[in-house]
Structures are given as C-alpha cells and as structure tokens.
Amino acid sequence: MNLLLVMIGIGVGLAGIFFVVILLLGKPAHQRTLLAEVTSEAYHSAAAGETDLRPASKLEIALKPLTWVRKLFGGGPNPEIAHRLSLAGYRKPFHADVFVGARLILPAITGLTIAYFVKDNVIFLFFIGVFIAFFLPDFWLGYAIKKRRERIERSLPDTLDLLAICMEAGLGLDQAVVRVGKELRLSHPELSEELLQINLEQRAGNPRIGAWRAMASRVGVDSVRSFVNMLVQTERFGTPISKSLAAFSDSLRTQRRQKAEELAAKTTIKLVFPLVLCIFPSIFIVTVAPAVITLIKSFSTFLK
C-alpha cells in the first residue's frame, strides 16, 4: 500500500507538471515576438557576432530532461510528430519532447488512478482509460491544427488588402511582407508569424518563390496554396502584383460569403431533428393529450 501511495504521488506530480506545461503552451511559445526581434535586429546581431538568435526560455530549460530521455531511448524526434506540431504553430525542438512525454505520462497516470480508486470492473476501465489517455494528445493536436488553419484562412483577405495598399504606396513585395507582418502581430498573429518567417528564410538565402511555397506547405490551407500559385504566376509573367492581390482578396471574400450562405441554407434541414424529437412531442402533449384523455374517459363510461 505504501508503494502504491508513492506511485500515485509521483503520478499526481507528473500530471501537475504536464498541465502546467499545457497551460504555458496554450499559445505558440513566443515565436511571433522572436521573429519580430530577429527581423528588426538581424544586422546588429550579425555585426556583434551572435550565433544563437533564439535564447533558450525558462520553460525550455525546465523541460531539458525530456530531451535527454528522448536522446537516450529514441534518438532524434519523430519527423511526423514534428511536422504536425509545426502545423499547429509549435516549432521549437522541445515541443516534440513534451508531446511524446504527454503520450507516455497520461496513460500511466490514468492507469494508476483507475487501479487505486476504482473497485468494480477495474481491468475493463483500466484498458479503456489507458487507450483514451494515449490518444488524447493526438486529439488535442488535431483540434489545434484545425483551429489554426481556420484563423489563417479568416485573416488572409485582410492581409492581402494590406499588402496591396503597401505596394501601391511604393514598397516592394519583400518590404511590404515585413511591414504587414508587423502590423498584423496583434490582430492576426498566426499569419503575421508566417509572413515574418518568409522574410527570415529569404535573408537566409532561400528564393522568394521557395519561401512562399514553404509557407504554403507549413500552413496547409487551400486558399494560401492558391495565393502562392497566383504569386508564382505574377512573378513569372510580370503582371502587376497589387492588382492581382486586390482581385484575389475579393474572390476570397466572395467565397466566404457563399460559404456562409451555404451554412445558412443547411440550417433548415438541421432544425428538422430537434423539431421532431423535442418540440413536436411537447406540442402534441399540450394540444392532443387532453382530448385523448377525454375520449378515453367517455369510452370507459360508455362501455360500463
């Protein structure tokens, strides 16, 4: 019993650490601020001879043991997990270690909790709980990826309008990207992060088209892919980019309006089920039930 209490205490402590980490990772870990600082101070850092433009945070130092454990047992991080985390906006190396650690810690904590507190059907609930706890981080990650894509898709028309305005004001495409990325830091932080990442990749030597295509593959949104294809065509044929951006943003807003109208048209079909299952029985009871009761009483007296 003492050993079991010690194991439960260890499990509860690990669970507390995990939930603290999840709360701290509720937003992508200061990547937007970091990109802005690197964009504005890259030349000063290079002149000072700095080699590490991304200092380790306190959270990263606290989670360093997870990296050591991963290197001890598994070598490098899983590329598939790292890619999925990057789609959700978590791109630091220790994010993959936290995710893998959550996959291992949550089933252990769930199994210990069920084994100690549950008295009936322990084996069945143990396997069900461990199975759900193992896949719970994957469900959370899929939800985070979906929400991030939706936010980027909603912010794309405003971004394109700002790019068109900046280019009509005399800025080049690269300067307009940096300017818009800084302006959208508060209103649309996800797309701002991607735009500033494009600027950093171009400074590192990646061609403009390559940087934009890399952004499209990172985001995984169809409208962003279409925008990158449009940008490639304008770059290849020499057409005015500002007019193309304005036309493309208008088409995106038209698509959004059509999608909203489609969802509104589907509401009539979706309302059939609550009407039939919830509202119609209540109306039937209020209107028809008294008449039925009266008829039953009348026939009962008649039969007597």
Alpha-carbon gap, residue 37 to 171, rounded angstroms: 21
Sign of CA dihedral 21, 27, 28, 30: negative
- What is the token pair recorded at 53? 């433009």
Predicted pLDDT at 70:
59
Predicted pLDDT at 54:
42
Predicted pLDDT at 32:
45
Nearest to residue 32, comparing CAs of 187, 190, 158? 190
pLDDT, tens digit (0-9, with 9 covering 90-100), for 146-164: 898 888 888 888 888 888 8
Predicted pLDDT at 69:
58
pTM for this predicted structure: 0.65
Residues with pLDDT less than 50, the chain:
1-2, 6, 20-56
Query: What letter does residue 275 receive in the DSSP assignment?
Result: I
Nearest to residue 81, comparing CAs of 56, 100, 66, 109? 100
Predicted pLDDT at 73:
54
pLDDT, tens digit (0-9, with 9 covering 90-100), for 236-279: 777 777 777 878 888 888 888 888 888 888 888 888 888 888 88
Contact between residue 148 and residue 190 where contact means Cβ atoms under 8 Å apart = yes
Predicted pLDDT at 240:
78
Predicted pLDDT at 63:
59
Predicted pLDDT at 187:
84
